[in-house]
Structure 1
Amino acid sequence: MNWTQNIRLRVLTLLSCGLLVASVWGTPVPAQAAAAPACGSGDHGLLQQLQAKHSAAEETPLSFTDIQFLSGDTGRAAGSGFMIGTSDGGCHFQKIYEGQWNFRQITFPDNVHGWALASVKEGTDAYLIATTDGGSTWKRISETAVGFERIAFTDNKHGFGYVRAFTYYTEDGGLSWSQIKTPANTRGAEFSSRSNGWAVVVAPGEGYRIMKTTDGGASWKLSLKSAYAYPEYGRVYAKGDQVYALLYGGTGMSQTSYSLYASSNQGGKWNRVIAEDTAGGGPAPGSGTALLKKGPASGKPGNMQLVGNSTAFLVGYSPAGEKVAVGRTFTGGKQWTNLPPIAGFDGMISFPGSKDGWMAVRGQNSSSLYATKDGGATWKVKFTFKGTEQ
């Protein structure tokens, strides 16, 4: 029985006995170390020994490197040497994994099967690892280090691996990979299925192109172009009828210039949602009138989350301004709202629904998980790793 199936039963049973929630391996720990907190409290006392060791060595608290939620109640958050999870909306968290792997990115198509890009402690090379028990144990899939910048699995067999210029596909859970043909000068691609994909193409001296394939890369068609400033690189997000092209400009003085384009009809028509110029990054790439001159938190763009055919979220963060915020649309990008910020230096989001969402935020001396029930308008802290001096 894995952690997602028994966490509620364990919490009730162990609390009645005056014990802790059992560990992933079923061994109780002393009651005084971690009486289960009330729902919504910010410090759950997990991984205390790892936290103390990390703080002593690094002078910083443990921090989250990736999060993924399958619903408003159930999800995971991972970092250097650990993974934790909740199945009751953050009222209680459980340690899923503690060990050698420093997680860079996680992807779980369901609550059992998962993959991650992770490095061994003290190392820099990333390996592809996989789990079949919700994250409690991990097996290295790649014998050697992999060059993937990110991965995405659609089920327990099929997935994509991305580097800036190339895309790869697997049909056997990551054991073998085949390259998908992408256009020359690709600077970011995204496939929603083996047949349907997008690519940001930079043509030096000519601008940029957003290209689309519906035949698995055999042919590519132009969807959006500009003869003006081209991006350094880009990222496309696609789900259903929605497509967003996030184009990154220059970076300097902790600032990044960028543009966000949106299409609500699979690339048939685009509108420029955000065009943020910065003193350090220069002009926003692209052309055309934008709805807004600033993105969420007036800062760097983080990751996006698409929900259904009309809802999308983008996290932004300003290290200098010490704030993190979410921008959103419920109209496929035709209107856009930047929501109020919270304190922090950077963040990442996971929105399984149009109202329920989670955000990991790194503060000056903390790393916290926040939850929202109103689409990012307000946030409530659910878990916090704090530095030793706090």
Structure 2
Amino acid sequence: MLLNNNIQNEKWKWSFKDNKISSLKDLQLYKSDDGGKTWTQIYIPVDKIPESDYEDAENIVPYFMDNNGWIAWIVSPTLYILKTTDGGLNWDILKFEIDKYGEAISALQFMTPEEGWLLTTVNGVGMQINYLLKTDDGGKTWENVNVTGEKNYDGIYSAANSSNMKFYNKNNGWISISNNLGPDPLLFRTTDGGKSWRKIELSVPKVYKDYYLSSANVPVFTDSKNGELILELCKHNKDNKLEKHILVYETTDGGNMWELIRADNL
């Protein structure tokens, strides 16, 4: 059974057999040349890769742009990428030593066939470190990008279990991280293509001070000015039942300022 986990430009889609997202062998890749009317399964050359190069990966993350495709995973300390530039007819295996900069992939996105972004995680006991890496050569080499601006930058430390990234164009990008200790998000944005980042502060009502942020949602924009951001907040009540609330924020200036417009109980 094919599960439509992702469709990009109605040209690519993929699924994992039995939701085995860490198994390259279970990745099923399909391509359409008629806008999604018909789909053809694409051969992935797993048999040409030593099993030791992918069997310990926490997850496998694909990304596609027109006829360009990247299938990425990490077996620390190495980032592996299967890359195609001809719609899946031929694949190259790229390897890059990222050392301490990640054990698993949170998000992968390319803005052009050469320029791409990779958000990685390193998990510890009750905490997480996130690193943002950038490539300007299609995934051959990657460089760690300072997100917080701190001089002794060594990733984004947080009490979190999820993170996300989204670039809406070459200049405008967002990073979002959940928070196991409170309702306030770790939300960063860039407007200059990742050269500098700014932390976005949101006003969370005091009534939610005992909640924790379970989501790592990035803003969703309808145009260059208007967008929404959803925070998912949780806590266990006195009966040990999980209470869930959703806070919806709105921006009308492209994401500089946010206003709480709705709070829903789930």
Q: Which range, TM-score by smaller chain?
A: 0.5 to 0.7
Relative to structure 1, the CA distance from residue 194 to residue 86 in structure 2 (aligned partners, 3 Å threshold; closer, same or farther) is closer
Query: Separation in 2 of the partners of 1:233 and 1:225?
Result: 16
CA contact (8 A) 2:212 2:235 kept: no
Aligned to 2:119: 162
Give, as a single letter, the amino acid of the residue that structure 1 aligns with 2:42.
I
The structure 2 residue matched to 1:174, chosen from 134, 139, 145, is: 139
CA contact (8 A) 1:84 1:96 kept: yes
- Confirm whether residue 116 of structure 1 aligns to residue 71 of structure 2: yes
Aligned to 2:172: 196
Aligned to 1:69: 8
Query: Separation in 1 of the partners of 2:74 and 2:199?
Result: 37
- Taking the TM superposition and a 5 Å limit, the aligned residue runs for 1:366-377 are none
Query: Separation in 1 of the partners of 2:73 and 2:13?
Result: 15
Query: Separation in 2 of the partners of 1:142 and 1:65?
Result: 28
Aligned to 1:265: 253
Relative to structure 1, the CA distance from residue 224 to residue 83 in structure 2 (aligned partners, 3 Å threshold; closer, same or farther) is same
Larger CA Rg, structure 1 vs 2: 1
Aligned to 1:13: none
What is the SS of the residue equivalent to 2:253? coil
Residue identity (%): 20
CA contact (8 A) 2:132 2:147 kept: yes
Unaligned runs of 5+ in 2: 17-25, 48-53, 122-129, 149-155, 237-241
Aligned to 2:105: 148
Relative to structure 1, the CA distance from residue 63 to residue 127 in structure 2 (aligned partners, 3 Å threshold; closer, same or farther) is farther
Query: Separation in 2 of the partners of 1:189 and 1:113?
Result: 20
- Taking the TM superposition and a 5 Å limit, the aligned residue runs for 1:199-348 are 199-200=175-176, 202=179, 204=181, 207-208=184-185, 210-215=187-192, 216=194, 218-226=196-204, 228=209, 229-237=211-219, 239=221, 240-249=224-233, 257=244, 259=246, 260-272=248-260, 289-290=262-263, 292-294=264-266
Alignment length (residue pairs): 208
Relative to structure 1, the CA distance from residue 135 to residue 230 in structure 2 (aligned partners, 3 Å threshold; closer, same or farther) is same
CA contact (8 A) 1:190 1:235 kept: no
Relative to structure 1, the CA distance from residue 195 to residue 89 in structure 2 (aligned partners, 3 Å threshold; closer, same or farther) is closer
Aligned to 2:84: 131
Give deviations 1:171-225, integer Å, cap 9, x for gaps: 1111111222223546544444564333446595683353433343535253423
Relative to structure 1, the CA distance from residue 63 to residue 246 in structure 2 (aligned partners, 3 Å threshold; closer, same or farther) is farther
TM value normalised by structure 1: 0.43
Relative to structure 1, the CA distance from residue 144 to residue 219 in structure 2 (aligned partners, 3 Å threshold; closer, same or farther) is closer
Query: Separation in 2 of the partners of 1:206 and 1:190?
Result: 21
Mean CA deviation greater in 125-134 or 162-171 = 125-134
CA contact (8 A) 1:248 1:258 kept: yes
Relative to structure 1, the CA distance from residue 70 to residue 190 in structure 2 (aligned partners, 3 Å threshold; closer, same or farther) is closer
What is the SS of the residue equivalent to 1:172? coil
Q: Alpha-carbon deviation of 1:82?
A: 2.9
Higher relative contact order (CA 8 A, sep 6+): 1
What is the SS of the residue equivalent to 1:267? coil
TM value normalised by structure 2: 0.59
Relative to structure 1, the CA distance from residue 90 to residue 204 in structure 2 (aligned partners, 3 Å threshold; closer, same or farther) is closer
Q: Alpha-carbon deviation of 1:250?
A: 5.1
Give, as a single letter, the amino acid of the residue that structure 1 aligns with 2:229.
A
Aligned to 1:342: none
Give deviations 1:136-157, integer Å, cap 9, x for gaps: 3322222569632220001110
